[in-house]
A = this chain, B = another copy of it.
C-alpha cells in the first residue's frame, strides 16, 4: 500500500490564526483511494525547516503533498523549496502566465507584476490548472518518489485535487476504504453501542461508535479491492444494525436530520410550518439549508417573547401563567397555532431554556419541549440536555424538533402502506 505524507506550509497555521482543514480533506480523499497517511507535518514559511520536512517526508513516504505558500509574495517559498529538494528546475510557463493574466482581466483588475512568480513551473513536472485562483499546482514523479504542491486556500486546493491530482495519483491507489454512517437520535452513545456491541468486534467492515452535538452514530468502514465490493461487505451489517436500533435510526448516509426530514416530507407530499422560541429561527434555517426546501416549507414565526406567543400564535395567556413558556402545554399550543395560521400539514414548535443561565421561571438550562400538531396527532416531547451551553442546547432543540417531524412523516408512510 502506498504511503503519502501531507505537509501544510504557513506561519499563520503555526500561530493558530487559521485552522488547517486542508490536511483533513486530503486525509479523507487519500484514505478513500487506499493510500495510507502515517505522518502529517506543519511548518512555517521558513525555507530551511520546509526543506528538511520535505526531505524527511520523501525518505519515508512514496508521495509527499505540500499545501500552501504558492502565493505571489516573497514569503511564499513552497514551490521553489520543494523543487530544489527534488532537483527540478523552475521554468516560465506561457500558458500558466496567460491564465493568470486572464484571471485578473476577468475580474477587471490589473495584474501586479509579482503574480508572474506563479507562472514558474517545474520543467520535469505536470502543471495542475487553478480554476479558482492564480497559483497553479504541480506534480513531479522522479526517482521512485512523487511530490505534489498545491495552493493553500481550500476553495482552490479542493477542486484542483479532485480534478487533477486524483488522476495523477491513480497508479498509487490500492484497496479502497468505503465508509457508511448510521445516524441515531435520542438513544445516547452508550445505549447505541451496547445494542450492537458484538458487531463492534468485526474486522471488515469495522463498526465504530461516535457522538456529535446531541446524537450518536455508527461508522462502518470496509476495505476491498473496489468500491462495489466494499459496499457489499457493508450492506448486511448495516441492515442488521438498522433492524436492531429501530426507530432511533433517523437515516443512513443522509448527513444530518434536516436533509432526512426535508426529503421525507417531499416524498410524502407534506408541508411544515415552524414556531420557535429558544431556537429563534434555527429550525427554519436548517430546513432551508436544503436546496428546494420551498416545496415543503413556506412559513415560520419566531416568538421570542411571551406576548408574541399570545398575539401571533394564539397561545392562551392562562397557559403561560399556569405552566410557563417552557412547558408541554405551551409547546402544544404553539404548534397548533402555527399550523392554524399557516395552513401547513404539520406545525412544529420549540420552547426551552438555552442558557447560559437559569430563567426567571427557575427551570434549568437544557430543558426543552418540542411539539408537533397535525390533523390527526398532537405530540410533545421533553428533553433535558443537562448542559448549560447555549449553542449546544439550541442546536439539540432544533434537532429534536426535526426528529419529531421525521418520526411523524415516517409513520404516515407506514400507515398508508397498511391501508
Contact = CB atoms under 8 A, between A and B. Distances in A.
Interface string A302-343: 111101100010000000000000000000000000000010
B301 A302 contact: yes
Interface in A1-59: 13-21, 23-31, 37-44, 46, 49, 53
A285 B294 contact: no
A312 to B, nearest CB: 7
Contacts of A276: 281
A26 B13 CA distance: 11
Interface string A287-301: 111010110011111
B303 A302 contact: no
A237 interface: no
B38 A43 contact: yes
Nearest to A271: B305
Contact of A304 (B17, B26, B177, B298): B298
Contact of A19 (B13, B24, B303): B24
Contacts of A299: 301-305, 308, 312
B25 A356 contact: no
A141 interface: no
25 contacts: A13-B40, A15-B177, A16-B27, A16-B29, A17-B28, A19-B21, A38-B49, A39-B43, A39-B53, A280-B300, A281-B281, A281-B283, A281-B284, A281-B288, A289-B390, A291-B356, A291-B390, A298-B307, A299-B301, A299-B302, A299-B305, A299-B308, A300-B304, A301-B301, A302-B302
Interface of A: 13-21, 23-31, 37-44, 46, 49, 53, 109, 177, 190, 210, 219, 274, 276, 279-285, 287-289, 291, 293-294, 297-305, 307-308, 312, 342, 355-357, 390-391, 394
